[in-house]
Structure 1
Amino acid sequence: MVPKPVGPYSLFKFGGDIVFLSGQIGDVGVKDIVHQTRSALENIKAILSSIGLELNDVIK
């Protein structure tokens, strides 16, 4: 499930052949860094999946 933005911004934006994702965070209120990291990555995967991409398509 694609996360809802917590503010007035887009989760992603196309710039030609490149997609830019907004910053993602883990679950608010959870102090476990492992859980927060997994949560943020799941958010990223869901956003990518919604536009037909996957983590293998990500560049640094």
Structure 2
Amino acid sequence: MKEIFSKNAPSAIGPYSQAVEKDEFIFVSGQLPIDSNTSLIKEDIASQTRQALQNIKYILEEANLQMKDIVKTTILLKNLDDFEIVNKIYNEYFTPPFPARTTYEVSRLPKEALIEIETIAKK
């Protein structure tokens, strides 16, 4: 197993890697909407969704992959009422055929974030 790390994405806030490569797969840990330059999380769901997806993009670039290489995503939302906004922004980052996806509403996320997104990509 090989660790994948991007200085453009926020460092892990616990004992885990930003991503790991195993065989032909890249497993990207849940990305919070943290800006690696400022360590800040913006307040609105649209900005947070874009930042989380941008962090994923940065990590995949370290493995010479693109968003189109993602085969599965999992989205954790603080409020499922944000689903429509998240879908609109998600559609800006992905094209058909879209990755398989699961979305959950959760009671709380680290750093009081409104969203966290994890992905699996294939080389």
Alignment TM class, shorter chain as reference: 0.7 to 0.9
Bigger Cα Rg: 2
Q: How does 1:45-56 map to 2 (within 5 A)?
A: 45-56=57-68
The one-character-per-residue Cα deviations of 1:4-37 (angstroms, maximum 9, x if unpaired) are: 1111210111121111110011135422000000
Counterpart in 2 of 1:33?
Answer: 45
Superposition RMSD on alpha carbons, in Å?
Answer: 1.4
Higher percent of residues as helix: 1
The one-character-per-residue Cα deviations of 1:19-59 (angstroms, maximum 9, x if unpaired) are: 11100111354220000000000100000001111101101
Unaligned stretches of 5+ residues in structure 2:
1-7, 35-39, 73-123
Q: Which amino acid aligns with 2:20?
A: K
Counterpart in 2 of 1:22?
Answer: 29
Unaligned stretches of 5+ residues in structure 1:
none
TM-score, scaled relative to structure 1: 0.86
Structure 2 distance, partners of 1:29, 1:50, is: 23
Counterpart in 2 of 1:8?
Answer: 15
Higher percent of residues as strand: 2
TM-score, scaled relative to structure 2: 0.45
Percent identity (aligned): 40
Q: Rate the CA distance shift 1:44–1:29 in 2: closer, same or farther, 3 A.
A: closer
